[in-house]
Amino acid sequence: MCGIVGLFLKTEKHRPELGRLTAVMLHEMRSRGLDSAGFAVYDHGAPGRSRLTVLAEGQRPDWEPVREALERILNDAVDARPMRDHAVFETSGDSAAARQWIIENRPDLSVLSHGQQIELFKAVGDPDLVARRYELASRSGTHAIAHTRMATESAVTTNGSHPFVTGADTCLVHNGSLSNHSQLREQLIDKGESFQTLNDSEVAAGYLSWRLREGDTIDQALTRALTDLDGFYTFAIGIKNGFAILRDPIACKPAVIAETDDWVAMSSEFRAIAQLPGVDDAEVWEPEPARVYTWSLEGAPA
């Protein structure tokens, strides 16, 4: 199984309660998987500022030495917002260099996300607990995707939890299983992608990361994925200023979309969407197989 939710707020109206609405949706999907959960939330960000979400799995680390080291490397101020075993570092400096430094020098840490708009939290355990622990409900923003996991392809660990990052401000959640992930992982490693787990969904994330780096738009990358990914999948993908959905050509993994003037919501099951304000007036439909759906904030390219 596994449960997916995505919420994209088209207008200001519900942005102060993005986190609360996402938490309510995630709660409804608990029955689809209690192994682990995660969420990515997006806001507008600040001009010239970028963020890294970093995980120290199983630790309660002292984040201050990490912050100081990043300031030294970047020669710029770095703010840290620790939250248990996660911390968000924010800087006007070169976040790619900061990410690279952590990957090369702190093997005990994982960079969960990087970009101008995204923050990403995940952990093993009950989705409600994960949402509470990382204060999902208090967050505001423009869009969010979240996942509850019932593990099939790899171990139940925080790093094996969704969402998986696919590049700056881009991440993916997956319901399904890929059958060619082993072969594809080898091919992507040859193309310069790196993987932290044996998880099939991380391969899908790496695939998108590779295509986006090669210059594909998200539409082009997902259209190509239909050819290159073999298996069952419903994906929800968070991108800068937007979000996307793709199902495989057979489409047996469930998905439903609802849209009003104020929001677009996607979930594995309608009961997650049934909790949203104004749902009675929403247009509701089942996304078609092998069709790329994208939404972006007005005036912002997806």
Partner 1 sequence: MTVTTFDLASASLRDLNSTLHAAASGEFVVENPRGAHAVAAGINADLSVTINGPVGYYCAGMNQGGNVRVNGNASAGLAENIMSGRVHVSGSATMSAGATGHGGLVVVEGNAGSRCGISMKGVDIVVGGNVGHMSCFMGQSGNLVVLGDAGADLGDSLYEANIFVRGSVESLGSDCVEKDMGPEHRELVADLIARSGLDADSADFSRYGSARMLYNFHIDDIDAEAKGQI
Which member of 2, 9, 21, 98 is catalytic? 2
Nearer to partner 1, 83 or 279 (CB): 279
- Count of CB atoms situated within 10 Å of the CB of 60: 9
Q: Which residues of 205-236 are buried (b: 16+ CB within 10 A; e: fewer)?
A: bbbbbbbbeeebebeebbbebbeebebbbbbb
82 token code pair: 């620790």
User: Judged by CB, which is closer to partner 1: 21, or 123?
Assistant: 21
In the annotation, is 2 catalytic? yes
Least distance (Å) between residue 125 CB and partner 1 = 24
Indicate the residue among 26 and 273 with the shorter CB distance to partner 1. 273
DSSP 8-state class, residue 14: G
Nearest approach in angstroms of CB 266 to partner 1 is 12
Strands of the chain (E only): list them: 3-9, 36-42, 50-55, 78-83, 86-91, 110-115, 118-124, 143-149, 164-165, 171-178, 231-239, 242-247, 256-259, 263-267, 283-285, 293-296
Report DSSP letters for 134-177, one per residue: TTGGG---SEEEEEEE--SSS---STTSSPEE-STT-EEEEEEE
CB of 265 to partner 1, least distance (A): 12
Residues of this chain that interact with partner 1 (CB under 8 A) are 28, 251-252, 254, 256, 269-275, 279, 284-286, 288-289
Least distance between partner 1 and beta carbon 286 (Å): 4
Q: Give min distance, CB of 148 to partner 1, in A.
A: 16
**195 or 270, CB closer to partner 1?**
270
The CA distances from residue 27 to 5, 91, 179, 269, in Å, are: 10, 33, 29, 12
Q: Nearer to partner 1 by C-beta: 3 or 167?
A: 3
Which residues belong to the active site? 2
